[in-house]
Structure 1
């Protein structure tokens, strides 16, 4: 929201405004006098400070600091100068407090006078805390070392510094006007101090130093305080050691860290001490905060925390607390942090501290719609302005609405309202909206007015799951609900319950399973075939039993569970994929995304953007990100195909675009790695390659016809100088460089990780096949194709196209391909060679019992038809298209423009080489075969159908085969 407007000072506050006369510098201009009256009316703190130090306001005014924002680092610089000649610890405390009071007056003045917005106020307060903490620490540290020696790390032998983590609003740079500061102290490693007669253990050294730092900041003296310091967020709370080593901190959070500590650690930031070591500490603790998997258990934890807060609010009568009460600041923080804890392990863009930036990311990444984010942002800013208004009055840490008329009038005035009633109306609006959004994200899905927890979804199935029913009654319940084989269904449930995965679950996981199974059964019986649903989904349940956060995901999102059951019922392939890779459950959360895969440019951009969030040197995470991206988008394509929102040709397009996006990034990763190791290869003219390398796709990927389980037929070509050495520290010749680049690409594509491999890769179509070089130079490739390649290799070249790589080399490859395909050919020889190759394939790969679809029984219902290899099938059509392209490309160059069969057939029709009716027949048959093959793949069935199917299409294809002179 914009800054609250300025309102006239009401008559009720005029006596407070009149106090300004007693502290008003005579030389002040009228506008500043009016501002002082407003500030004195609203803030006892500013008035009291001005009375205590009559020079405070004149000095601030003369410096211009009341009317301008500070530049980055200016506040720290002022304090650094102030402490430069500080002689002792008592003086340190006095100077810190005076400096804090001066800056607090300036900040409150600018806030009340609306010269500073929320962002500036929070930034200045956080910078003030950072400067006080860090400069006080650095003042104390050398003096502490003089007294107790310098702490030395036992392992590194280096001097040790403390790391001071700021938590909560300080960590997020969102400090409010009178906030406590939550701190955690750590140090890198154990050891002892050196340089004194009696050494101290490092921990004892830092505990004493931490106590001195707290003493410098926290106690209230005649000058006030600097910041109230709260150390209760440290491991073991008040009972724990004040300072722990990094190893001890890591061990604690790994073994004993609780959910609320994950929530708190989201905002942790190094605010003082050793910044470099602090960065290492936060990296060590990152896995505790952000799980690599989708973590819906975070919602349970936040819900439990919210319940405790609500109980405390009710107990202490804090309904008017704008932070903790219903619709308060904490609820917006919970919403943002729920998404951070759930998705932050995989979506690095969510790993940030400031709440407003997190909200912007939630909008930008599509987690929540823009109108919802806008409303939450405005509500949050309104409440933060109210919070500052409450605290500006007396510099007290409070979020309670006032219960007296005077302070109510002050709050209304600061918020730009002409009355408390008008302010209260705005406040109730925003709290109501925030509470509504909170309930959408955090509230229990079973919570409905008038609905008891016992009546939650699926409760009728709980006795069966908990074995409270005997076998006969359980079977009867299953049968009555629609299970056609109740005994088998019951056995599956009993086997799951008694299986090792469930028996060894921890208590929390078992509770989650017990909550989930009744919901699963309640939704399963809504399907036409609940037996099939149970058969396909229970293996997934068993697979994720030890990672029960996935069960929470489905429990918390009934619509996601429904989509899971629909997809598993439709396709065992999808059921198997989700069982093998449960992280795919994330894709079920957003129906719009699931059934609307992106187009090629958006797909490539999304993958690039996702990889940019991963540190360049973290190859393991990059490989996992690539694999997850592929799995997720392949699932989206399959789901869209099943739902009928994506026709066959588009399915192949999307799967091909996905492969191209993967290859683009794999090539970039492999290039960076190989260049970093050996330097950049050179061209023949001595200039550096960039990268002068292409990946050529053959077969299905070349023809834009990829299926769900297709491998990639690839050929690697470079146009560098094979003899010239690279320019790196470990130079190798160009031929070796590109060979290693090719090996690296294959490694990235085929290595098995926890998320499987990206693709199986077939390189046998390269020159000389398996015995040839892994990477060919462009010249060698051209020579081979012109003088050594077999006819079947030229057939393969019909479907070859550049997938990714250097545009210049890609254009040169296209010229080579056009020249080879456009050669003059002897048609009888070509017919014989194509026919011979096809005969070999039928003999080796066709259905033996039907003579590869040519026998008398080929069309019998008892026989089977191999969609790809039998006569009249896919390969016959492909061979006809390839034969035609080789036979007539010289006279009709348009035939080698495209690599997919459909458009090549269009070219044959347009050139008058094949009747339009025959072209249409082949195209429709080809699409029908491929659609059937896709259906078979999604059902995990081989690419065969009954012999009676596609009889008319097969006979027509065989007729056209003969008419082309092929045998």
Structure 2
């Protein structure tokens, strides 16, 4: 743990200054003994003086004893425990003079562990183990602990009769086991703190001690359980115990394997083995006057807590062949027989190893790895992340996880990587060229440091903890234990943070930089992967086309240009972010395409290098959304908006309108260029909205409002350009007032990324203008505006759809306000009244727009409500539409628009409520679906619970339609049937990598409930 550095120089002189006349000493003259002791390292010099005096004159004059006390991590704690020990057994001081090495070991332990100090005070006889400087072998440990519980180490099989002195969990045997165990713990710690044992030796010795304790506990269990001789039971060590890298105090992870003896019924044998396993676990965890050892954790077994505690070997193998997930094989990487029937245990390990080293080839390898990573992060308690040296950022689990993943990826073809313990595995990875030597050295140093700190914080109270304390006294003890004497707290904190930062670069160090080395000209001192190894690693990280990925990496990083140099810095991190995205291949391809467009632009690479948030967000977007990638390729300079949520905030319509007007003014009479500028503005805002949507900055209602407002601004600006063009720049010569009325989803402020702009055109001739001339001019404006907004261009077109006008596509494209009045007075149908519920002014002459909405008000909000006959017609129309318009072969439970519980169901419920009641209830006179439902609840026309069900389904279906467009870059109303596409869409919606089935289940559940509410409300009278 720390290397004993001997007594500080001139301890005797410092203590004796001023005591003897004529003593010559150059040390600073300190007036009191207490002050001198404080200068040597005691926190409470006066107390230390009293305790030293209490030890007697021999102790006071023993400067070697004082030197060893001062060398302890906490001299005060060591002296306090020594004082109690001497009171219990005065012969200890004499033993110190006879064996200085034993004294150094004991005081080193007492300066770190209050718990072991308490133990030696209660059991001074255990000090004899400190005399031996050698490491106890596994066999010696098992013999000692078996003898402690009264078992015969030479009896290979369990006996049928209770062993002498082994009378069960309530017997003195368990106390004896605990005393013997802690005595050996004292010996291990004594060698550890004096530097006589390396970290690897200490961890292996602790694992051997745990195995010996399990065997002793099993002997106790055999004495309790009748028929224990009829079954073979193997205890498989997992985790740190299996890898022989155990902590001082930790749960011991195990798996139990059993086989009946010849002629014994298997069911009966498994029942007996289960009772044996339970009794063994109790023998370790039960509280006695001597405390407990640790918990035995069997939750890594097949099916976890829900599975049987004990299985036969064949049952284990059947589960692993059929049901096991990748993380279970990752856990089995460390499996080792530790107790019980070792021959059976070896058979188990040999059988599962064949599957362990093929885990990386499994279909869901990446998803399982990512799920495991999330589980690790989820175990961090709130407020502890920054002080957690195991699970926190830059902690032990980061190193262990990455080493194991590299082993699983490359261990398939390289048997030399198949090591259980972390440090040997890391060394093997370095020797094989899978990790650079300097990288491996840095990680090994960080791992060793963190494990040493972990041991020290656990030794203090023998408690299972991985949280670095915040108390300065505790930090001082840890720092001094690590050999830091000048400023223990500051030196420790600095070193810890440095190692944590180094480990935090884990993925770059272990996974991604070697991929660059496989294709780029990098320093020869770095390890290089072969092309085959690079492809294997890319496959394991989720890249479906590793050959293509390597080509992109080469294209980005090859050469000696500044751009290539910066890309070599960026890509290791970016590759990791792409791997975490839904579609890593698309992410890397998109990054190369964007970089090719902007790579020579100085600000671009500098922005990505210096602004981590921008680079990470860019990687996520490119690996999630083809729609966003397409927008970025035509506006790559928009990357800059990814820096903060404030940059992604929806911009006010008035601001956009002013920008559009400014863009138009710069192009004069060139209508096509002016509208191209408007469409470029729209493209940028579409990108802003899509990014805000994917990052959760805005919700689905805000998305609809933002897209609808953007379409309003676009239509208004295009209308201005078109009128200006047709009037030769003299807008005042235009012969009629002209307004655009939004309909459908645009009218409801519910536009999606794929929505056309449903509109109607209305005009009103100016005084003195013939209606025919005015109509011709209005028609020309409408047609030209539609043409300009759909011209071939790099920007998404805005399709203007006027199909909801009177008489549909057979009727005139533009009508006067009078023509609309005449038509609606004479010919309007129920479906037209329903469609007009969403009509609102969006562009052109606002007064004319208001006239139109006043005109259609009585039609869509009839004072007495619609007649029963009209309600029946609406219901028939919905049923016919559902039967005829649902695409052939479409799954009605997965069609977001026309499917059961989808958008149409919810919207028609809202619209029928409006048709029936809006004439009398002004709050229902809204064009928005969810606002209408909320108003219906407020007016007691709809139950709040029903509104919640319908609104949830509407939001979910709307989000899915948008996600389909974002992910695929093309619109669709049905959730795709392909598993991969479903997975990509579910990830865009925020589901985890393995959550696509949950996504489908959630949608079906939500829409099934909505369908039930819709049918009941829509058809009730």
Question: Normalising by structure 2, what TM-score?
Answer: 0.43
Higher-Rg structure is 2
Question: Normalising by structure 1, what TM-score?
Answer: 0.45
